Amino acid sequence: MNTRIKKNILILGGARSGKSSFAQEVASKSGKRILFCATAEPLDEEMRMRILEHKKSRPQGWDTIEAPKGAGRKIGRLLYKYDAVIIDCITILVANSMGDLTKYKEAEKRVDSEIHAIFKCMERKRASIILVSNEVGLGLVPENRVGRAYRDILGRANQQLAAQADEVYFMAAGLALKLK
């Protein structure tokens, strides 16, 4: 029986700040049975190459599921099998879930549903849940309504996840700053 303490961890930061590498390091210390939940879709050649490189960086023996939407529900059915689950990344999951941004309230409800399903996994404490997300509130104000809506909805989702997490880290230049 695994006697490790199960923690829910949120890792925030900018693009290429080291979030995914840090998440993998934390997961490796959480046990041997690791599930990686990938939320990105290879919609173009450049993204396909990014996904391929990301896959290569993961240790052999880890299981992977693809969940561009419905990540929490998919993980919930598998949680009992793992010591740790990485969801990489919430940023893309939120974008995939939003749909038509001209209908802000509907987009917000879809994202709330995704986040609530992840909360259910976090509450079960069967495995450490390690969430990776971009902090998009540090830059310029997006010039268009769609960009501002995305930033606002993702920022709210990050706040909700941080409130539920046992630990929160902010990544910058490959360094982890513990916030909580």
- pLDDT band of residue 179 (cuts 50, 70, 90) is very high
- The predicted-structure confidence for 138-161, as pLDDT tens digits, reads as follows 888 888 888 888 999 999 999 999
Residues assigned a catalytic role: 54
Phi, psi at 137, each rounded to 5°: -90, 5
- pLDDT band of residue 35 (cuts 50, 70, 90) is very high
What residues make up the domain containing 119?
8-178
Average pLDDT score over residue span 24-30: 92
Q: Would you state the pLDDT for residue 56? A: 81
Q: Flag whether 1 is in a domain.
A: no
pLDDT for 5 beyond 70: no
Question: Which tokens belong to 107?
Answer: 């987009």
Phi, psi at 27, each rounded to 5°: -60, -40
- pLDDT band of residue 2 (cuts 50, 70, 90) is very low
Q: Would you state the pLDDT for residue 142? A: 87
Q: Flag whether 40 is in a domain.
A: yes
Q: Would you state the pLDDT for residue 140? A: 83
Q: Flag whether 54 is in a domain.
A: yes
Q: Flag whether 47 is in a domain.
A: yes
Closest C-alpha to 166, from 88, 84, 68: 84
CATH for 73: 3.40.50.300
- The predicted-structure confidence for 54-67, as pLDDT tens digits, reads as follows 888 888 899 999 99
**pLDDT above 90 covers what percent of the chain?**
66
- The C-alpha atoms of residue 56 and residue 10 are separated, in whole angstroms, by 23
Closest C-alpha to 10, from 137, 175, 176, 152: 176
Q: Would you state the pLDDT for residue 1? A: 39
- pLDDT band of residue 6 (cuts 50, 70, 90) is confident
Q: Flag whether 2 is in a domain.
A: no
Q: Flag whether 67 is in a domain.
A: yes
Q: Give helix 145-164 / helix 90-98 axis angle, nearest 10°.
A: 130
pLDDT for 15 beyond 60: yes
Q: Flag whether 96 is in a domain.
A: yes
- The predicted-structure confidence for 80-108, as pLDDT tens digits, reads as follows 999 999 999 999 999 999 876 667 888 88
| Amino acid identity for residue 166 in this structure | D
Q: Flag whether 3 is in a domain.
A: no
Domain count, the chain: 1
